[in-house]
Amino acid sequence: MHKVFAVILTYNRKELLKRCLDAVYSQCRSCDRVIVIDNASSDGTQKMLSESNYPGLMVHVLKDNIGASGGFNAGMRLAYQEGADFIWTMDDDVIPDSDALHFLLLANETLKDKGKTPAFLLSQAFTENGLVTNTPIISPLKNVIGYRDWHELLELGVVAVHRATFVSILLPRATLAEHGLPITAMFIWGEDSEFTLRVTQDNPGYVVGMSKVQHLRQENGPISILTENNPARLKLYRHFIRNKIYIARKYRHFPHYRYLMVSEVYRVFRLFFILLFRGEVRKANIVLHGMLESLWFYPAPEAADTPIEKKQTSTWLLDQLIPDKESLKKKTG
């Protein structure tokens, strides 16, 4: 049987993390291991986990918050190096249905029987109100007679896609072995788009209709600096601007992205002048900073077998018995 490891990234959302873990541990097809990557939380997440009773849970605590990209990089790398055949990845605000993993694995077997090699398998994501969210982009790949064939296996309940998010995505080991990890330097926003575009240049990923999750997003609607008022999030928008331009430049050989590079730069310039006209100088400077930074932003992905750097303060296993402070101290030394 294939070894499936779940990787959950968390930061200062211990209540959501508990709901996510409860859902992951309630799967009708159990995970062989669950790994939590704690991105330097300060809200008591580690204490909550150490006092919980999740069998075989591995907790990897980062010394600093290295962003979503760094956290997912660490989680996927750890799972890969621990021998996972499949890595089921998500944020702490994702609540999978009890059969979500089952249907992802079932789709993989069905696709294999059809001679397909999926780059990844993806759940459908919905808000608490049942609205579709995190919609992936249809695959642009064509068949031998030149037609896009994303709907080829529609009767099986799967659709070929190429850009997606890390909201319940199942990654075969071979995908990481061939294409490497998410790019840590991107920090936040776009690392999932870049990664999924990178791994689907030859074989598409597939969204699986029967695999469903809830995504309990803090912010509804698309990300926009025009409407953002949270100071903590606002300063991160330079990454958003930089990463959008970087992705459009890197994947301009895709038909859709040939024109996206030009339109992306145009939209960023337009956004900059809109903010200036509105008198929002701080926001305009953030946009300009991101745009300028994109000019020399050329990060390279790391291989999945690259040794894990000492970014963590501790890695420990939570057995069925609650570990006492002494045993934790030994495991984290």
The per-residue pLDDT for range 158-173, each reduced to its tens digit, is 999 999 999 999 999 9
Among 14-18, 195-199, 258-262, 287-291, the least confident range: 258-262
| Confidence check: pLDDT of 332 > 90 | no
Residues 244 and 212 in one domain: no
pLDDT digits (tens, 9 = 90+) for 87-107: 999 999 999 999 999 999 999
In whole angstroms, give the CA distance from residue 181 to residue 159.
24
H-helix segments, the chain: 14-24, 45-50, 67-81, 100-113, 173-179, 191-199, 231-234, 237-250, 255-277, 281-294, 325-331
pLDDT digits (tens, 9 = 90+) for 42-65: 999 999 999 999 998 999 999 999
pLDDT for the residue numbered 322: 36
Q: Using pLDDT thresholds of 50, 70 and 90, give the confidence band for residue 331.
A: very low
* Domain assignment of residue 63, given as a range: 4-219+303-331
Average pLDDT, the chain: 91
Calculate mean pLDDT across residues 290-314: 84
- In a domain, residue 123? The reply is yes
Residues 273 and 318 in one domain: no
More confident residue, 316 or 244: 244
Residues 8 and 148 in one domain: yes
- In a domain, residue 224? The reply is no
Residues 134 and 272 in one domain: no
Q: Using pLDDT thresholds of 50, 70 and 90, give the confidence band for residue 330.
A: very low
CA angle 69, 20, 42 (to 5 degrees): 60
Residues 46 and 85 in one domain: yes
Pairing, β 57-62 against β 86-91: unpaired
Residues 81 and 111 in one domain: yes
pLDDT for the residue numbered 24: 99
Residues 200 and 260 in one domain: no
Number of separate domains in the chain: 2
Percent of the chain with pLDDT over 90: 81
Percent of the chain with pLDDT over 70: 89
- Tell whether pTM > 0.75: yes
Residues 237 and 205 in one domain: no
Which of 162, 165, 170, 160 is closest to 133 using CA atoms?
165
pLDDT digits (tens, 9 = 90+) for 207-221: 999 999 999 986 666
Residues 144 and 269 in one domain: no
pLDDT digits (tens, 9 = 90+) for 261-280: 778 888 999 999 999 999 99
Residues 160 and 203 in one domain: yes
Residues 181 and 311 in one domain: yes
- In a domain, residue 44? The reply is yes
Calculate mean pLDDT across residues 193-211: 97
Q: Using pLDDT thresholds of 50, 70 and 90, give the confidence band for residue 296.
A: very high
| Confidence check: pLDDT of 325 > 50 | no
Which of 10, 20, 92 is closest to 46 using CA atoms?
10
pLDDT digits (tens, 9 = 90+) for 220-257: 667 889 999 889 899 999 999 999 999 998 987 766 66
